[in-house]
Structure 1
Amino acid sequence: MADREKNTPGASNISNKSTTNISRPKLKDLIAERRKQKLTDSNQSELMDPFEAVNKYKSNVERRTGYVEEESPEHFCKWDPLYPENAERVACPKRRLAALKLRERCVNIVPTELPDRAFLKLHTKNLYEKLKAIRSVTDDQLEHESSKFDSVYFTQHTFSAAKLAAEAAIALTLEVAKGNLKNGFALIRPPGHHAMVDEFCGYCFLNNVALAAQTAIDEGLAKKVLIVDHDVHHGQGIQRMFYDRNDVLYFSIHRYEHGLFWPNLRESESDYVGEGAGKGYNINIPLNETGLTDADYLAIVLNVLLPVAYEFKPDLILISAGYDSALGCPEGEMLVTPHFYSHLITLLSGLANGKIVVCLEGGYFPESVAEGVACTLKALLGDACHPISAKPEINSSLIEVINNTKYFLRDYWECFKQDSLFSYPKNVELQNCLDVDKTSEHLSCLSYKFVPKEMTEFETTGFYPIRTEDEVKMYLKMVNDLRNEYLITGEKPNVVGYVYDDFLLKHKPAGDHGNIPERPERLLEIIKTFDQFDLLKRCKKIQESDRDPAKWIKIVHQENYAGDILAQKNVEQRPDWFFNADTAKCVLKCVSNILSLAESIHEGHVRSGVAVVRPPGHHACFDEASGFCFVNNVVIAAEYLIREKNYKRILIVDFDIHHGNGTQRLTYDKKEIMYISIHRFDKAKYFPFSPEANYTYTGEKEGDGYNINIPFNKGNKTEHDYWTVWLKLVLPLAYSYNPEFVIVSAGFDAAYFDPLGNGYKLTPEIYGHFVQTLKPLACGKLLVALEGGYHLESTALSMTMCAKALLGDDLPVPKLSGKVDPDTRETIQNVLSVHQEKWKVLRVNKKIAGFSCTEEEQQLLEEACREEMCKKGTVENLRRMFKKNIKNVE
């Protein structure tokens, strides 16, 4: 019983003022005391003010999106009118941007001419002069000159076109890096990511993105640059330029097919991770099948890109935007929809203060390119993302690639060290030592099938695929159908609403009930902090509507129970449940406020919003409540949207440190509501002390699989632990469910100094990034409702970060390079074990063999195994044979 009381909201620990001080501890005194204790280097971080980062983000400078274009119509293949790299690649997107009036919303950038030395940062003088010399080549010699290079054509205008494209990319990047612009799009050609230090290649002459990155670094505007390349062809030019450096992280998703797809390079494989100081800073995702979809590409983003990007913490992000990965492109043969690119931008926008520059690379189906460009630019402008398709499972070959990549990067990034390794060859009987369970285990086995040919000259025409007329019609229809879908959902302005009412302050303990943490000051502190951060001026206050909140309370809760609560009959005060003469009115006002906000979001008056309300609700069950909760605010809002507004899928994400037992019970048999809860469990010894908070409780009847508990059992958690489960579990499940509306039960009692958090240490900024990464879902329809959180400053700053994320403001990035708690890893595995069958997207996560090999080496290993069996040898002999490939198995 002592353990139960210790962790119960409002129980015996409430009277202990030293542990429940609602005001912020004096950091100077804390630091002085810790210094007296002669802290070791390992815990020096405890000296830091956990609120320092967010307090630097009080002011928000409104910055706009930049736009620059270079169509270069005089750069075209004179001898081949079907050549895919042509001016229509820019002209078609220009028409689409004009139709959507997107350019008018941007700041147009006019590049200035740069001296030759600007291009010699990464290219040799010989290459640059060779490009210059093309200006004087006669028409009848152009094709011959072009045949000296792989997939290149020249005209007398190629030099000026390439120079203008690079100047445009550099000019836009500098404006963004300086902070004059929020972000920007460069609609330019010719592309650049295949251009190498001393060689032209793949329609590319000067490496636009690489030069932009180098210039920003040289001018002291960025110390760390992330380059994300989603062109379907590997950008070997960028890779080679930064391969031995750790100030540029190059991340490429490209078609590979074991080397059979152009540029047919062995270095495009996932084991090419950089060299020297650059080890770990070159990341290849080589795709071995065509027809991959949004869900496949999203799996790459969630499982590899976001974990590394957040650990790297770039100052600037450059996107090599090749839309040949989009549906319809004959060179890519993928099925990525245009709106995937808007999700990518939004998911990355929480990093680098939103400093993202997108530069056009490939893309050879003009209408698909146009829609991809439009969706990317809309995301840069802060428009809502259209939902993307999330098929039930991920391509099996991609799962292999993702796990290969994690294996080869494991030594360099903490985020990949949490994945379990297993011994290989296995320490079992000899005939089974090479067995791999394909469903749960992964062996990194690489294959390179391309046989290079000796080339005296390269083809200059007819080497590219061409769509048939019927194929063109089919893909045009697909693009137009998507455009119509986007129009149906409509554009909603990025207005953030909020609800708050002074009347809610009247709910407070009657008489002296000790230092009870659920008090009116929680709301006052949030509103005061909103004002300090200028959020009250920038958000729209939603007026209370005239619907009957009592009706909706009785729809969700047992009628007699609801009646007693509203009449304040048959209820007794207890440490975690208090009331006074105004409590019933406050309960009604709270529900009315949250319903008003939900309706306002639904109607499109605001895109999203925050509910600064109390009393909280997620512990309120059908006919009973506890934990300061009377009625379940978020479930009432969800039921209202389902019954009144015909929503079919509502996601509730609950990151309060306490399990929302009421929310679980009220939604347990519903598929219309997915409930995901991250909470402290301690094997049912933490409030609300119910075994129902364990991972084994997954829902029942139609709701089976729609209840996801993520319970922590041991130790105090940090943002490393929460962010890991967020990327591995919360976001994949959320995307798979494809909600039409998202509600966040925002409890901040896992934050620093919270009296009920018992040592959990989340910073305010991590909560902002939770909301930032939920924004792409449900067309941005997102409602953040206050639940717990009892340290005034940490709660107020955390809710402020959530609101700033909804507004699209810059966010400080949490420090996410620490180690993940073993208990967290165990929790993840437990949740995966019960939910992988229904939510197949989770099958990406496998145990990885502490061994890698080529196909040839695997065959040798099998032969050696057979020989050892004949000799009655041991597995250790086999392990010694391939020792160079074996990683330490934890």
Structure 2
Amino acid sequence: PSPRAAAVTRPAERWSSGRPPPPQPPFSVQKRGSRKGTLAPPCRSPSLPDIKKKGRMKKLSKGAEQELVAGVRGLVGEGQEGTLPCCPGFPECPERLHAVREKLAQYQLLERCTPVQVSGLGLVSDREFLKLMESTQQMSEEELRALADTYDSVFLHPNSYACARLATGTVLQLVDMVMAGEVRNGLAVVRPPGHHAQRERMDGYCMFNHLAVSARHAQEKHQVEVLIVDWDVHHGQGTQRIFDQDSSVLYFSIHRYEHARFWPHLPESDWRAAGIGRGRGYTINVPWNQVGMRDPDYISAFLHLLLPVAFEFQPQLVLVAAGFDSMMGDPKGEMAATPACFAHLTHLLMGLAGGKLILSLEGGYNLRSLGEGTSTALKSLLGDPCPLLEAPGPPWGWLDPLFPSPVETPSTPEEPEVAGEEGEEEKEEEEEKEEEEKVLRPPPLARTGLVYDPTMMEHYNMWDSHHPELPQRISRIAQRHAELGLTQRCRALPARLASDQELLLCHSPEYVEQMRATSGLKPRELHREGERYNSIYIAPRSFHCAQLAAGSACSLVEAVLDGQVRNGVAIVRPPGHHAERDTACGFCFFNSVAVAARHAQQLAGRPLRVLILDWDVHHGNGTQHMFEEDPSVLYVSLHRYDHGSFFPTSEDGDSSQTGRGRGEGFTLNVPWNGPRMGDPEYLTAFHRIIMPVAYEFNPELVLVSAGFDAARGDPLGGCQVTPEGYAHMTHLLMGLAGGRLVLVLEGGYNLSSISESMAMCTRTLLGDPPPVLPWLRPLHPGALESLAQVTRIHRKYWQSLRLNGECYLGAPARPLLRSGGRVGLRDPKAVSYSLSAGGDVGRGEGERPWSSQFSCFPFFQEPLAPEGSQDGELLGEAAGGCSAPIWLEGTFCAVTPLSWCPHLTSVCPVPAGHLDVTGPCQDCGLPLENWVCLCCYQVHCGRYINAHMVRHFETSGHPLVLSFTDLSVWCYNCEDYVHHEALLEAKNVAHRLKFGENMPTSQ
């Protein structure tokens, strides 16, 4: 595998032997009234603490410089190591790089990176401007001063050109390494900065625009589309102007603006600037009109604005203008972001472009905060967990003073000032030491823990071998993990039985004893006992397996909290999230995730803040009831609801259920009122609702009820989430709770889709970048309505949902009538379940960007699974279809099939007694998602099981097949669905055999 990160730094500033130092000082010019920086105040006599601090910095700098010269000298070409000095007190000074490198060395990050050999490379810029800059190497002092006077906020030095050229070449080389797969991502520690530089002029300390040149280079050499994110506190007007007519580069800037009162004082820095011509819509500015913006503000901007658009844009490379002048204490930015914030922003961006992400240093003028911010960002690039945010709270809040008054300490009459400053100095040193110890604390040696025990397969249905909750569910998942090499990369943790004390944390003593008593019952008694519950079967070893599932979840949580592993996966069964305190329900006996949450709090000895996210397609009624009065546990569920008609068929899963008593607001349901919800709906829910609320809650542990029955092809869920979609949801959650994330298997009844989906989640937990998503179709109108309702209800509890100017969360969207033409993918089943990154879908030149995610237009896609509602009786049946026909009244969104195709002549009459809609695949014997060939009437499984029908078509050439699941007909040659009177006989026979009556319509 490729190394994770490459850190590119300039060498320690020094003069090479034989070269005389340039004239000092260099020449700077700052425009009156519009200066980017301000000169330092007049010098005063240094105090004793100043002298001590200067000595410490010099000592640290000397040691770090010696180390870096020895270890990093090969990063740049020989002869390019000259310095770029500046006026005394000038903000953009060489000490900025010293401070960054000192922190990287102090936190032992440099040895974890791959060094990059760079050299000055050619630039893509105006030739006359390039010649002018090159000539500055031979200019006199007067000429440099005169030239600098023609620009805004720049200084010039005979070495400026060489250093700026080298900085640009550094980023270019890093782009090539990332695109070639030599490294996964990278950090370029360079100066001077570049994002203000334009095609024909310097501006704001910048001579050449490193990221703009690199983006253009990536376009021309690698043919990629690029996302540029600029989080420097100053707007990167140079970058914006270079790409404002280019639809292949999406530029996103979040900066201080103050209604154009802040530098660079341009109207184009406002949100109204969206690009020009073909580039309109590809420029997004987030202007802050007040100082003091905090971590929640930046994270909210990423979640609500950047990520939804970026997922739709689907960049193949992400470049970041990484200025750290928005951090607390920076004299220019006057913002209040912490170093931890930039770790989270970096982590969020790592989910894009298959992880191809490059950060290039821009501004940042408080040396301490600059070093800390750069270090935390690099740690994220290296795969370290994001640190917990300190009381993040909601966005848009008022702030404490940025610079609190110094702590007063007792002073002696002889030296009152010095004593007070020494006391403050000692306190500052103690705080620095504590922070360093926290950062230097090594992460767990093993990244991901895995719990699996095949003993749990001893729970099985003795009366129905086709029951969807098969023992093979966990064995197939474990097998797929082994095939992909994931098992070897994880740390195997022992499965164990949950103790009675652990089970009693969530279940009543009477119920535990009832379940224990089933171990000695005879088969007839077990069947009778199972009938007492909703959708439950009981085997002689069911109690033992349920104990093992709950205990394994507890074991994994122990390992995460003890620091043995960072995160983990529990491949367990039977599932648990439907189990109530005193009753089994919906295949579930003991609520493993709920027991693990309580066990974690017991281990911590306090009400540890726990986020339980339930993405199983069925509402976790048991988990919700156990925590609905507890504010220490935030329960969030995304599930299919269908206005209460989908299992478990109660109002508990409605968005109006928010908890009770002290726990009001800590239950958050996102109910889908229809089938076919997929990646667009789930990711939108994550970006707009789940992640903002989760960041505001600030959990210390995240548990996922990881059911995969919302996956495409599941026989019970009827949804369309891809394995790649699950990977991205996992990646987003990894930014929470310091990376302490545990996935516990719940439902999922298509053996192929659950194996691929859970493997993709484990792969993400291990640090592999989430693959590029398949093309995201427009959102389902019903999903918009659900998200709007959830937001309206939970605004009163969570300030992170109280943002003004929402694009679509106002009134529910109404579906429009189809006027003709096909919308969306040609074959909705064609997206591969492979673990490789999906392909990209190009955009037309004249297409208006971002229309799909924010419009009210309906989409049309064929169902892959049952459309009808589920009740408890249906849920308990074997997989293999739905008891309701596809032509349900009020059902919305189905691909309009072809009314004719040239292959209808291949359809043969149905042989007498030769159509068995419950028959297994003739190749593998599985009864799941089977199709019948309308030529020879052989039965084979679909592409999401073992793809035997696809192979039958390839060998026989028989193109038309009928689905036993939804009675649709697919033509392999036309790659489309077909409905024609020639097919009605076969459809009607299948419908009669399946439901006991003729089709409700023959049209």
Common fold: TM-score over 0.5:
yes
Question: Residue type of the partner of 1:557?
Answer: H
Structure 2: runs of 5+ lacking an equivalent: 15-21, 28-86, 400-420, 810-853, 858-1003
1:827 aligns with 2:786: yes
Residue 102 of structure 1 corresponds to 109
Partner SS, residue 325 of structure 2: helix
**Cα deviation per residue 1:547-587 (whole Å; 9 max; x = unaligned)?**
75222112210110011112217971247211211111111
Aligned to 2:3: 63
Q: Post-superposition shift, 1:614?
A: 0.2
Match of 2:139 among 137, 145, 148: 137
What's the CA shift string for 1:171-216, capped at 9, x where partnerless? 1111011111011110000111111000000100011111111112
Any residues of structure 2 matched to 1:668-683 within 5 Å, and which?
668-683=628-643
Structure 1 gap segments, 5+ residues each: 1-60, 399-468, 851-886
- In structure 1, give the amino acid aligned to 2:637: S
What residue in structure 2 maps to residue 497 of structure 1?
A: 449
Q: Do 1:251 and 1:283's aligned partners in 2 also have CA atoms closer than 8 Å?
A: yes
Which residue does 1:718 correspond to in 2?
Answer: 678
Scaled by the length of structure 2, what TM-score is found? 0.69
Matched, 1:771 2:730: yes
Q: Paired residue for 2:508?
A: 558
Aligned residue in 2 for 1:13 = none
Secondary structure of the corresponding residue to residue 195 of structure 2: coil
> Partners in 1 of 2:136 and 2:667 — Cα distance?
64
| Corresponding residue SS for 2:217 | helix
1:274 partner SS = coil
Whether 1:733 and 2:693 are equivalent positions in the alignment is yes
SS at match of 2:275: coil
Residue 543 of structure 1 pairs with residue 500 of structure 2 = no
- Equivalent residue number for residue 700 of structure 1: 660
Does the 8 A contact of 2:2 with 2:181 survive in 1?
no
Q: 1:858-869 to 2 correspondence within 5 Å?
A: none
- Distance (whole Å) between structure 2 residues aligned to residue 317 and residue 129 of structure 1: 30
More off after superposition, 228-237 vs 384-393 = 384-393
For residue 324 of structure 1, give the secondary structure of its aligned residue in structure 2.
coil
**Do the aligned partners of residues 587 and 760 (structure 1) sit closer, same or farther apart at CA in structure 2, a change above 3 Å counting?**
same
After TM superposition, the structure 1 stretch with the greater mean CA deviation from structure 2, 102-111 or 514-523, is 514-523
1:83-98 map, 5 Å? 83-98=90-105
1:266–1:608 CA distance, 2 compared to 1 (3 A): same
How far residue 686 of structure 1 moved from its aligned partner, in angstroms, is 0.7
Equivalent residue letter for 1:217: Q
- d(CA) in 2 for partners of 1:487 and 1:608? 19
Larger CA deviation: 716-725 vs 278-287 = 716-725
TM-superposed deviation, 1:483: 2.4
How has the CA–CA distance of structure 1 residues 387 and 602 changed in structure 2, closer, same or farther, with 3 Å as cutoff?
same
Distance 2:602 2:4 in 1: 40
Q: Distance in 1 between matches of 2:12 and 2:200?
A: 23
Letter of the 1:534 counterpart: G
Structure 1 residues 485 and 233, CA, compared in 2 at 3 Å: closer, same or farther?
farther
Distance (Å, rounded) in 2 between the aligned partners of 1:68 and 1:132: 24
Q: Which residue of 1 aligns with 2:483?
A: 532
Out of 129, 153, 156, the residue aligned to residue 154 of structure 1 is 156
Match of 1:187 among 186, 189, 192: 189
Which amino acid is the alignment partner of residue 573 of structure 1? G
- Between the aligned partners of 1:747 and 1:849, the Cα distance in structure 2 is 29
Q: Structure 2: how far apart are the matches of 1:162 and 1:479?
A: 36
Indicate conservation of the 8 Å contact 1:719/1:816, yes or no: no
Q: Deviations over 1:453-512 (max 9, x none)?
A: xxxxxxxxxxxxxxxx99x989978983882584497633461111000101111112x3
User: How far apart, in 1, do the equivalents of 2:328 and 2:446 lie?
Assistant: 29
- 1:468-867 correspondence runs (5 A): 480=432, 483=435, 486-487=438-439, 491-493=443-445, 495-510=447-462, 512-544=463-495, 549-568=499-518, 572-574=529-531, 576-646=535-605, 647-757=607-717, 759-815=718-774, 817-844=776-803, 846=805
Per the alignment, residue 174 of structure 1 pairs with: 176
d(CA) in 2 for partners of 1:189 and 1:888? 43
CA change 1:62–1:113 in 2 (3 A) is: closer
- Cα offset, 1:595, TM superposition: 1.1
Cα 1:353–1:847, aligned 2, differ >3 Å: closer, same or farther? closer
CA distance in 2, matches of 1:95, 1:807: 29
1:616 is displaced (CA, Å) by 0.3
**Number of residue-to-residue matches in the alignment:** 715
Contact 2:254 2:285 in 1 (8 A): yes
Instruction: Provide the rounded CA distance (Å) in 2 between the counterparts of 1:665 and 1:813.
Output: 37
Q: Distance in 2 between matches of 1:84 and 1:530?
A: 52
Letter of the structure 2 residue corresponding to residue 841 of structure 1: S
Distance 2:660 2:440 in 1: 34
- Determine which of 77, 81, 100 is the counterpart of 2:88: 81
- Relative to the length of structure 1, the TM-score reads 0.77
| Residue 268 of structure 1: aligned partner | 269
Post-superposition Cα deviations, 1:521-549, rounded to whole Å, max 9, x if no partner, equal 1001101111121101111110246x752
| Equivalent position amino acid for 2:535 in 1 | D
- Three-state SS of the structure 2 residue aligned to 1:674 is strand
Give the conservation status (yes or no) of the 8 Å contact 1:720–1:816: no
Using the TM superposition, give the Cα deviation of residue 712 of structure 1 relative to its aligned residue in structure 2, in angstroms. Answer: 1.3
Task: Assess, with a 3 A threshold, how the Cα gap between structure 1 residues 223 and 475 changes in structure 2: closer, same or farther.
Answer: farther
Structure with more relative contact order (C-alpha pairs < 8 Å, separation 6 or more): 1
Secondary structure of 2:505's match?
helix
1:111 matched to 2:118? The reply is: yes
Supply the AA of the counterpart residue of 1:143: R
Are residues 473 and 230 of structure 1, via their aligned partners in 2, closer, same or farther at CA, if it must alter by over 3 Å?
farther
CA displacement at 1:224 relative to structure 2:
0.6
Matched, 1:384 2:344: no
d(CA) in 2 for partners of 1:281 and 1:397?
Answer: 32
The residue identity in structure 2 corresponding to 1:709 is N
C-alpha deviation, 1:73, in angstroms: 3.5
Structure 2 CA distance for aligned equivalents of residues 576 and 154 of structure 1: 77
The CA deviation at 1:827 is 1.2
Q: CA RMSD in A?
A: 2.6
Deviations 1:614-643 (A, max 9, x none): 000000011012110001000000000111
Whichever residue aligns with residue 529 of structure 1, its letter is R
Aligned to 2:973: none
In percent, how many aligned pairs have the same letter?
37
Alignment of 1:404-483 (within 5 A): 480=432, 483=435
Task: State the alpha-carbon separation in 1 of the partners of residues 183 and 268 from structure 2.
Answer: 36
